[in-house]
Amino acid sequence: MVFQMARPIKLPNSRFLYARKVVPKALRASLGRSEFKRPLHAIDPAEVRRLHREALADFEAQIEAAWSKVRGTLRSLMAREIAALCGQWYRDQLAANEHEPGDAAAWEAERDALLEAIAHAPDEPEPAYEPTPKEIAVADAWLMERGIAADADTLRKTAFRRWVTRVQLAETMMRRASGDWGQDDYSPAFPALLPTEVAPSRLVAAAPTAKIAEPGAVTFTELVAAWALESRPPQKSRDKWDTTFGGFAAIIGHDDARRVSVDDVRKWKQVRAAQERSPKTIADGIAVMRATFNWGSRNGLLPKDNPFSGMAPKVKKHGQSARDGYSDEQARSILLTARSETGWKRWLPWVLAFTGARIEEIAELRQRDIRQEAGGVWIVDIVPSATRPGKTAQSQRMVPVHPTLEAEGFLAYAAGLPADGPLWPDLPIGRYGSRGSIAMKTHSRWVRAVVGITDSRVAPAHSWRHRMEDSLRIARVSSEAQDAITGHDNHRNAGAGYGRGFRGMPDELLKELRRIPSPLTPAPADDEKDVVTTDILGVPPPTATPVATPPDPATVPRSQLRGRRRRRLARPDNTITALLIAPVEPAQSRGRLNKLTGSVQ
């Protein structure tokens, strides 16, 4: 008997061939599908055959893993095997995003969101991470895609290692997005994937709770995969797309993009609103799906009518910031409490207070970053590094050391450290080679528990930046100098990209930064505000030129004024003329009055 080899299939309205394999009936419940389908994004026949063979091997591996679960023959992976699988995924993601790494701020938000999952124990010097049941379920699905039916202990270890790898990927992509394509710090640490281990699949599983689409349909999984292949989004965006479409499929009961109607979208909105999701969250989900459907329509995968168009709820825009800067009282409490600490806890709050820098920028400083520029100005040199890539290109800057920080003894502290070492040698290094995450979490707990500031409107580290921005505004510092101090990017100032800019002029920035008073300096009483002998620079203010008391227009004899001069002086709003004019004899000429009033006339 001759068995015919499976061939790629052609679906209606699709320019690509598909790999397809039917799932045995006994496994459809556990796999959540009746068949596997994957688009083969290639035109060359040889490449199509290669992708088809790869897809069929992935399908067979998943089916075999499902049979293993049914039989109860689960695998227990060693730590090296798990690390190798995660390393292969890490390298695949780097390759997919290498040329278009996306936005550094988006990767930073991705990394911060992952770090928020860390649980802190009061006596632990380093935070601990424990996978949630949901993350373990995701790890199970991730291993099943690779043909592995794992036991409970392997699932927990895999969930943890995947979390670590995602943080490492976010940090690497932050550097790429900031313009640093230097050596990758993490790839060499992953072991190579041995031939006996399962190679990762690029298949993205559909939502397990959704019904399977009919043959010839375009599933959400296929639509998102095709969009991602062309758009090359960062991993955070890809995860958001997968989650959004997976939740949509679970609510409407199918995953066929061609069958989605306005009624389906309305049903999804109602369910999400009943789940107490905000209008902004619902609008964001619709924006994701609307954009993907527009792409599918332009590429001939979907009909031209987009069911998501015009369906987003109206979102009210609030102008008030989500965070406040520290008040004078709060700032004093933090700085005074820090004086009783040692090491990095003693100095980090003070540096945050008088630089307005981000906590990760300060946490990763080296001793050599505190140096003296030509002209004698001491600076904090904030430059990108392997562990501190910088949020934007404008993050690189030289911030002068505030006189109050120098008087407090900070320069003496820095001078006592090894020149090639970190500025905070007692600050622990996290699992990813960075001190920033440890500093952020530990400092936050210190401000809340030790200092006692529990106001939810302030962020333990970031509120120093808000305070600095407000202080610079009050001091009437120019917006370009403000951005140079805090490392912000001002798109409204097109001229900021010309010349060195204030970021390279620490001597000029020091003049502005010295205008920011210390929160420990008591404010003068109301009856003392007019008796100021020196300004905050220690320099006596310039003596004001006395101004003569202007004559009261009502007391000037009308006989001394004639015609237009009389009417001009009699106008109540002509204050400047009243200050300059003096009584004039009737015999004086118009030229004499013009000379007295000068350019006002």
pLDDT at 73 over 80: no
> How far apart, in whole angstroms, are the C-alpha atoms of residue 179 and residue 189?
23
Supply φ then ψ for residue 261, to 5 degrees.
Answer: -120, 170
| Span 424-434, average pLDDT | 76
pLDDT of amino acid 573? 45
pLDDT tens digits for 276-290? 788 888 999 999 999
| Span 130-158, average pLDDT | 83
| Span 186-208, average pLDDT | 54
pLDDT at 528 over 70: no
pLDDT at 4 over 60: no
Split at pLDDT 50, 70, 90, the class of 110 is confident
Split at pLDDT 50, 70, 90, the class of 433 is low
pLDDT of amino acid 376? 87
The region, left, alpha or beta by phi > 0 then psi within -120 to 50, assigned to residue 253 is: left
DSSP 3: P
User: Can you give the length of the chain in residues?
Assistant: 601
pLDDT of amino acid 288? 92
Q: Mean pLDDT score of the chain, rounded to an integer?
A: 75
Residue at token pair 């068949």: 35
- As beta bridge partners, residue 381 has 398
Cα→Cα distances 11→35, 40, 245, 258, Å: 15, 12, 22, 13
From 12-26, 35-49, 205-219, 355-369, the region with the lowest mean pLDDT: 205-219
Range from 172-176, 314-318, 491-495 that averages highest in pLDDT: 172-176
> How far apart, in whole angstroms, are the C-alpha atoms of residue 400 and residue 16?
59
Split at pLDDT 50, 70, 90, the class of 316 is confident
DSSP 304: S
Give the CB-side neighbour count of residue 409, counting CA atoms within 13 A: 7
Cβ contacts of 227 within 8 Å, gap of 6 or more: 241, 292, 295, 296
Split at pLDDT 50, 70, 90, the class of 580 is very low
Split at pLDDT 50, 70, 90, the class of 569 is very low
pLDDT of amino acid 322? 59
| Span 109-130, average pLDDT | 62
The per-residue DSSP string of 378-419 comes to: EEEEE---SS---SSGGG-EEEEPPHHHHHHTHHHHHHTS-T
How would you class 383 by CB atoms within 10 Å of its CB: exposed for 0-12, middle for 13-18, buried for 19 or more?
Answer: middle
pLDDT tens digits for 145-154? 787 888 888 8
> How far apart, in whole angstroms, are the C-alpha atoms of residue 426 and residue 408?
20
Supply φ then ψ for residue 341, to 5 degrees.
Answer: -95, 175
CA 488 to centroid of chain Cα atoms: 13
Residue with the bigger pLDDT between 560 and 233: it is: 233
Q: What's this model's pTM, rounded to 2 decimal places?
A: 0.43
pLDDT at 351 over 90: yes
Q: Among 404, 398, 391, which Cα is nearest to 347's? A: 404
pLDDT of amino acid 197? 47
Range from 61-65, 112-116, 466-470 that averages highest in pLDDT: 466-470
From 36-50, 84-98, 398-412, 439-453, the region with the lowest mean pLDDT: 36-50
Q: Among 433, 409, 408, which Cα is nearest to 422's? A: 433
| Span 458-487, average pLDDT | 88
Q: Tokens representing 355?
A: 């630089």
Contact yes or no for 208/134 (Cβ under 8 A): no
CA 412 to centroid of chain Cα atoms: 34
pLDDT of amino acid 277? 83
Percent of the chain, pLDDT > 90? 17
pLDDT of amino acid 412? 94
pLDDT of amino acid 332? 93
| Span 88-101, average pLDDT | 83
The amino acid present at 440, given as its one-letter code, is M
The pairing of strands 397-400 and 378-382 is antiparallel
pLDDT at 88 over 70: yes
| Span 56-78, average pLDDT | 76
Q: Furthest-apart CA pair in the chain: how many Å? A: 133
